[in-house]
């Protein structure tokens, strides 16, 4: 087969890139090693920035998002039982939306099916070839038969464990990483949320987050040990651990119920530089990971796609490679700012150590955030998403 852009990975980054390129008449094929049902079954983030909403609109898949998504004008932070609110809209003029990544993936899948663009699921043994030459190739097997795609460019959108970054020569890439000594135990339940806005909780017992997917479906997280096993956390134990971390109003509003999904996610910061290797371009989790505290993972993937899709359109339509040549530099500047913000939120809101000095620094940092309009504005600017 022959195409202009071979996209590895059918998560939100790969699907969004494929849809934006198709809108501009650029042929692309997406390869995904998992089944479509498996991809849709992954439970992921749910907070999206305005610029991400705009990209989904450009891709022609924003209708259900606007109908079902929940606009949030502010965010709440509860510190040792006292709740504070930061108005994102007053501080920046912008908002965020709660709309699950699973729903975004479904919208993008449906959009791709509507235009008839090809996605090959259950693609096994994917291998990248000649990425530094003029005719890169991707080989894979489908239904036991060997296949090959010849293309102009390869977009590696296949996540942290995908083949794309692993195909890069070790000496050509530099990795930066911080692994945090904690995880998030999260549950999804068909219960009303305790607040109509996201609420972050800093508490001596450990971090918590009260989020939602709809007015009747809640997503809750508590800080846990990386050594914990999900099987050791029956639903009642989770609710018993969450409730004391909340303020009195939230405790009274908390409705418990059986979990639909339960999992433990480790927290990691990771960046790979550069993001271009000949005709291979990395995007999304293939190039970077952020702890979920700042709600930046999906949004960073979308910003990569914005830069890369514009650069590819510029190459094919304007016959200029300026955007491709600057892709890595431009994307990494935004990535490192999001990494800094996610690190700051993680270090400020979690119980990182038992050191009393660290405890007092956290309280001082949060007190400054709530008392200083400049600090609050800086927080809000980062939370709603920095400009491209």
Active site residues: 72, 200, 292, 296, 383
Report the C-alpha gap between 304 and 327 in whole angstroms.
Answer: 8
Report the C-alpha gap between 78 and 250 in whole angstroms.
Answer: 10
From residue 32, give the alpha-carbon distance in Å to each of 4, 19, 23, 223, 373. Answer: 17, 15, 21, 32, 46
Spatial strand order of the sheet with 47-49 comes to 47-49, 96-98, 70-72
124 φ, ψ (degrees, to nearest 5): -100, 160
Report the C-alpha gap between 55 and 115 in whole angstroms.
Answer: 17
Least Cα distance to 88 among 309, 364, 384, 314 occurs for 384
Q: In angstroms, how far is the first alpha carbon of the chain from the final one?
A: 35
Name 252's Cβ contacts closer than 8 Å, sequence gap at least 6. none
């Amino acid at each position: 087969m022959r195409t202009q852009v071979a996209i590895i990975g059918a998560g939100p980054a790969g699907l969004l890139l494929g849809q934006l390129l198709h809108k501009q008449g650029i042929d692309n094929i997406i390869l995904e090693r998992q089944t479509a049902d498996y991809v849709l079954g992954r439970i992921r983030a749910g907070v999206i920035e305005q610029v991400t909403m705009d990209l989904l609109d450009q891709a022609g898949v924003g209708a259900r998002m606007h109908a079902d998504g929940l606009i949030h004008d502010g965010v709440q932070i509860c510190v040792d039982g006292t709740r504070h609110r930061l108005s994102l809209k007053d501080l920046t003029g912008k908002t965020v939306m709660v709309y699950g990544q699973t729903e975004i993936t479904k919208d993008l899948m449906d959009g791709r099916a509507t235009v008839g663009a090809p996605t090959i699921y259950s693609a096994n043994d994917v291998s990248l070839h000649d990425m530094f030459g003029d005719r890169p190739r991707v080989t894979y097997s489908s239904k036991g038969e060997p296949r090959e795609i010849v293309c102009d460019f390869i977009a590696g959108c296949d996540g942290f464990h995908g083949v794309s970054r692993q195909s890069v020569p070790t000496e050509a890439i530099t990795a930066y990483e911080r692994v945090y000594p904690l995880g998030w135990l999260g549950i999804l339940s068909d219960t009303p949320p305790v607040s109509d806005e996201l609420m972050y909780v800093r508490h001596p017992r450990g971090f918590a987050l009260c989020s939602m997917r709809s007015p009747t479906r809640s997503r809750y997280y508590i800080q846990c040990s990386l050594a914990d096993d999900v099987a050791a956390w029956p639903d009642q134990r989770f609710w018993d651990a969450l409730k004391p971390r909340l303020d009195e109003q939230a405790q009274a509003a908390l409705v418990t119920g059986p979990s639909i999904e339960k999992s433990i996610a480790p927290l990691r910061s990771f960046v790979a530089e550069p993001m271009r290797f000949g005709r291979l371009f990395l995007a999304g989790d293939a190039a970077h990971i952020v702890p979920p505290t700042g709600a930046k993972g999906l949004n960073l993937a979308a910003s990569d796609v914005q830069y890369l899709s514009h650069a590819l359109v510029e190459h094919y339509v304007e016959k200029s490679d300026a955007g491709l040549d600057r892709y890595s530099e431009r994307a990494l500047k935004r990535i490192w700012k999001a990494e800094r913000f996610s690190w700051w939120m993680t270090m400020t809101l979690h119980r990182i150590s038992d050191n009393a000095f660290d405890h007092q620094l956290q309280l001082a940092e949060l007190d400054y955030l709530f008392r200083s309009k400049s600090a609050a504005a800086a927080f809000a600017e980062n939370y709603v998403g920095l400009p491209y």
